[in-house]
Structures are given as structure tokens and as C-alpha cells.
Structure 1
Amino acid sequence: MEHILRPIYQERASQSDTLGVILVSKREETKSITDTFDTVLLIIVKDAVNPIFTKHYLYEGQKMAMHVVTEAILNKWLYIGSNRRVVDWIFHGKVMFDRNEYLHNLRLKLQEFPFFGRKIKSGIQFSKLIRRYFEGKEFFNHGNFLDSYNHVVESLHHLGRLSVIDNGLYPEVTVWSQVKKIEPAIYKLYEELVMSTETLEKRLELLFLGIEFLINSRTHDGAQHILETMLSKETWTIQELHSHRELKYYSKDLEVFVEYLIDKGYILIDPTVAKSEMVYHRYYKVDREFVENEYVLTNQ
């Protein structure tokens, strides 16, 4: 298959904005990694009119897919963890072209998983966890147990990914096999949810208690990235937070995360008079004294 695709990726490799080309072959034990395609070409470019461009090919009954993605999109996937197949492709795919060792350095970066990378990934996963937990609790309180169940499952997935990240690893597609080794307490919660003979209501009630405890114990690490970012200036509008080059990755979960940190005392509301004296702008700032005490105490 490689020789059939060679003219396609060589044409792309000759273009100055192409950073790297990876060839991924289907593995029988994990067909979903390539979306059932026999071969996938991942081409990373510096910039493009279409941030994601895809083409499908057919050759003697075999299916092939080509994905051209910008560096910005790739970084977003890696930060947010929204496309974990790509991590598998980067680690296990065959490098066909590598401009200035871009892919070599990217693999090293993912393997070494620098501390700053862990902080932003932890923050994003923690913010998703917060949203899922609160929405699931709301469904539960209104007696909508099946909807609540779906949110609890998602909460546990985010907890699982958090535990993997906090242990300096990258969450794989088979994240629960990682969690079982790294954080058996979270794996046990997952087992209790899906395998317990208790009523659904009772299972959810117990799970919410367990998840709430784990959220509280992880707030310190989960909040570190956003708090360090916000300490770079005195006050922020919510739009400034949304527009920040790193905080924008929190997307729709940012606001519920900020409200959670207000409730926990990490962030303060700084009301500022608007044009109408009856209305105030809602600005946000880190409670420096509280945060300094919190981080000093937890690091002793």
C-alpha cells in the first residue's frame, strides 16, 4: 500500500508548509484506530485555508484515508484530548517525511510529557469533570436517573484521564486499562457503577459521594493552570479569559469552572460600575492570599 500512496504524500512533502507525514496501517486487534480504513495518511502542515482536509481513496478493494491538518488543530487535539487516535498515530505510525525533525521532537515531547503540559491537560480534564458532575447531580435531583447515569460515566472517564495525566502519562484510547493499574480506586468506582446489583438510584447516590471526594482532593492540581495564568494580571473579564491563547482550550467548560473556583475561594468577583450605575461589570481575580496559603500548605 505504501508504494501506491507514495506519489500522494511526496507531492505534499515537496510543499514548504508541510511539517510531517505519517503512514498508519490498520491493526486487526484495533480496527477502530483507523476508522476501519486499511491505511491512513496523516499530513501535518504549518497553516492552511481548511484546518482539516480529508480525502478517501480506493485501491483493489482496500480503503485509504488522507487527513491534512494544521499544526494548530493538532495541538488543540493534543491539549484537549478530543482525538486520542491521533496520539496513537503519532506514536505508532511510520514516519514518511519529517521536516527539521518536527515529528521526532513531537514524539519526544509526548513521551517526556513536560510538567507544563500536564498542568494544562489536567486543567482541561478537570473543568470537563466539574461540568459533567454538576449536570449529572442536577439530573439525579430531579429523578432523571438514566440521564444522570450518562453524566456519571463521563465524569468517571474524565477522572480516569486525570489520573493517567497526573501520573505523567498520556491517556491512550484504552484508558481504563491504564487506570486499572494506576488508580484502582477510580476503576473500582467504575465497576460499582456498571456491575453493582444495587438499584440505579442507589448506585448513583454512592457514586456522587465518591466522585465529590475525588474532585475535592484534585482541585489543587486541577486549578493550577488557570490560576497561574490569571496571576499574570490583576483582573479579567470573562471574554478575556475565553480569548486567552491557552484558556480558550477550556471552551464551554471555562465558565462553570470559574464559578466552581469562586465557590471554593480561589477566585474573587471584582464588581466594577458600568455605564449605568445600576449595573456592575463582573470582573475576576485570583485571591492571592488564599491561593498562596493553599499551595504552601498542600506542598508541605
Structure 2
Amino acid sequence: MNTKQYFIETYRSQLDVVGLVAIENPYPYNPLIEGLDVLVLVVRESGANETTQHVCQHGKRTMVRTFDTGRLEQWIAGRSGSVIQWMVRGEILMERDNYLTNIREQLMLFPDIMREQKRFAEFSGFLRTYLQAKQDLEDNHILDAHSHVMAALHHWAHIVLIEEGHHPELTVWKQIRRVHPGVYKLYEELTASPESLEQRVRLVMLACEFTVMNKMKSCCSLLFEAFSSRQEPWTICELQNYPPIHELHIDLSLIVQNLVKRAYVREVAVMPANGDPDVMELRYLLTAI
């Protein structure tokens, strides 16, 4: 009995299993399945414990990851790159009510809301690493600046791919070379230019600065959608709990403060609930155009 058939037979009779996915590893050290030969995903009904197990059968090392439907949907909502690759590339061994097939079709279609969420999350990473690189340069920490600007460029590449309707792959630079040669050229400039390391970093930082200025509004469309949905100012907590945003792992405070600096959003000081006039609560509102 081969590995896939073994797992099908093992889980077929377990009534709380809603899906089984297998991802084989054709390349050594592939991080998609963390260096093993096979990854098997066991998706159970809501409430199941999340576990990881390593097993060996007929010389094949297999990782078995078990989680429930809520966890899977949370990962997808948070735009976990690995999970998306698992769902898109994996072989569905068994499923109930087309549950995994429907998820795969949704991911392949890359609907607008998913695209906006993924772009927003990548912009958050871009902004954080770009600003850290900027601080590193001011502190004359050139190697750290290089590391952070490389990370910023990686997020930028993801943003471009998302805007073109692609899910970013693990081999992002091979992918971006086909889709957007201009961003790939910056990557080459940062990694292979004969100029000094500091000169390379500063050149790419200038391009990043231009991108921050020009992409901020479009990448933050979910935030602008929230601001436009009511006239009252928003607390940072209310923005974090806005439905299209609350599952995302982003630096929301950092983004909002930069929107304030760019005059897209303005701060409003409000008397707190306890009535203390010495400590005002900051809330946020779209700047009147």
C-alpha cells in the first residue's frame, strides 16, 4: 500500500475528517513541506486540536499536520503564503461536500476582497521594513539597512504580483522577472551592482520612497473603505476589528500614523469615557478633500 492510500484508508472512517491533502516533495530541502518527503494535511471539523506528527513508511518521511476548518480559514484569511500553496498545489485525497475543492477554486479565482487583503498585508510589511532600513541608514548600520531594504523589496514584489492577479510563489524573483522586469532590475541593483553597498541601498531606498508615496492610498483601500462607511471618527481598536481587516497580521498603528503624516487621515482628540481631561483619546477620520 503506497503512502497516499495508507492515509486514505486510515482517515476514511473518521467521521470528523472533512478533507485530506497530500503534498509530495520533488526537490530536496523544499521549505514548502519543511524538508520531509510528504506533507499530509488532515482537516477536521471545528474544535479539533492542532497537532503535528512525523512518521516513516516504506522509507518515506511524512509530516502529518492536523487542524480544524476554523484554523484553515483563519490562515487563508490572514493570507498565509504556505497554506495557500498547500491548497493550490496539493492533491486532494478525500473531502466532504467539496469543501477543499471550493477553497481551491476560491483561491484560484483570487477574488477582489482576498486580493485587497493580501495587498494590504504586504504593504504593511513593506512599510515596516522600509522605515527600519531608513533608520538603519541614519544610524550608519549599513548591513542592517541592506537586510531590511531587501525585505522591503520582497514585499514590493509581492504587491506587484497581487496587482497583476497572481498569488506570489516561493520563487518570487523568478516569478517577478516575468511579470515586472522593473522591480527585478532593482533586485539586481541591490545584489549585483558594482557600486558600494551603501550606494546600492540608497538607490533602492529612493525607489522605495517613491513607491510609499504612490501606492499608499491604493494599498490601504480597505482602511479607506472603513473610514468612508461612517462620519464618526474611528478608534484604533475599531479599525482593528473592522471585518475585512481583523484577521490580518499587520502593523495597523504604523499604517494609520503614516496616513496621518501624508494628510490622508487626521487625528481627532476625544474626551475618554472616564472623563479625565488630561488624557485625550485619539481617533481617526478621513481628511476632507
TM-score normalised over the length of structure 1 = 0.88
Check conservation: 2:117, 2:248, Cα contact below 8 A: no
Check conservation: 1:125, 1:161, Cα contact below 8 A: yes
Is 1:236 the counterpart of 2:234 in the alignment? yes
Deviation per CA, 1:208-257: give whole Å up to 9, x if none: 10111122221232010121123333222122223334323443511101
Is 1:280 the counterpart of 2:280 in the alignment? yes
Check conservation: 1:119, 1:221, Cα contact below 8 A: no
> Following superposition of structure 1 onto structure 2, how do residues 213-224 of structure 1 map, counting pairs within 5 Å?
213-224=210-221
Q: Structure 2: which amino acid aligns with 1:6?
A: I
> Following superposition of structure 1 onto structure 2, how do residues 134-283 of structure 1 map, counting pairs within 5 Å?
134-233=131-230, 234-274=232-272, 275-283=275-283
Check conservation: 1:136, 1:149, Cα contact below 8 A: yes
Structure 2: give runs of 5+ residues left out of the alignment: none
What is the aligned residue count? 284
- After TM superposition, give the deviation of residue 56 of structure 1 in Å: 1.4
Counting helix residues as a fraction of each chain, which structure ranks higher? Answer: 1
Structure 1: give runs of 5+ residues left out of the alignment: 291-300
Task: Give the one of 9, 12, 17 matched to 1:10.
Answer: 12
C-alpha distance in structure 1 between counterparts of 2:106 and 2:100, whole Å: 10
- After TM superposition, give the deviation of residue 114 of structure 1 in Å: 1.0
Alignment identity in percent? 27
Q: Structure 2: which amino acid aligns with 1:283?
A: R
Is 1:103 the counterpart of 2:105 in the alignment? no
C-alpha distance in structure 2 between counterparts of 1:166 and 1:266, whole Å: 22
Equivalent residue number for residue 60 of structure 1: 58
Equivalent residue number for residue 114 of structure 2: 117
Q: Structure 2 vs 1, CA of residues 141 and 72 (structure 1 numbering), >3 Å: closer, same or farther?
A: farther
Check conservation: 2:44, 2:66, Cα contact below 8 A: yes
What is the RMSD computed on CA atoms of the aligned residues? 1.9
- After TM superposition, give the deviation of residue 161 of structure 1 in Å: 0.5
Check conservation: 1:48, 1:70, Cα contact below 8 A: yes
C-alpha distance in structure 2 between counterparts of 1:113 and 1:30, whole Å: 29
Equivalent residue number for residue 87 of structure 1: 84
C-alpha distance in structure 2 between counterparts of 1:105 and 1:2, whole Å: 22
Q: Structure 2 vs 1, CA of residues 199 and 80 (structure 1 numbering), >3 Å: closer, same or farther?
A: farther
Q: Structure 2 vs 1, CA of residues 95 and 31 (structure 1 numbering), >3 Å: closer, same or farther?
A: same
TM-score normalised over the length of structure 2 = 0.91
Check conservation: 1:87, 1:172, Cα contact below 8 A: no
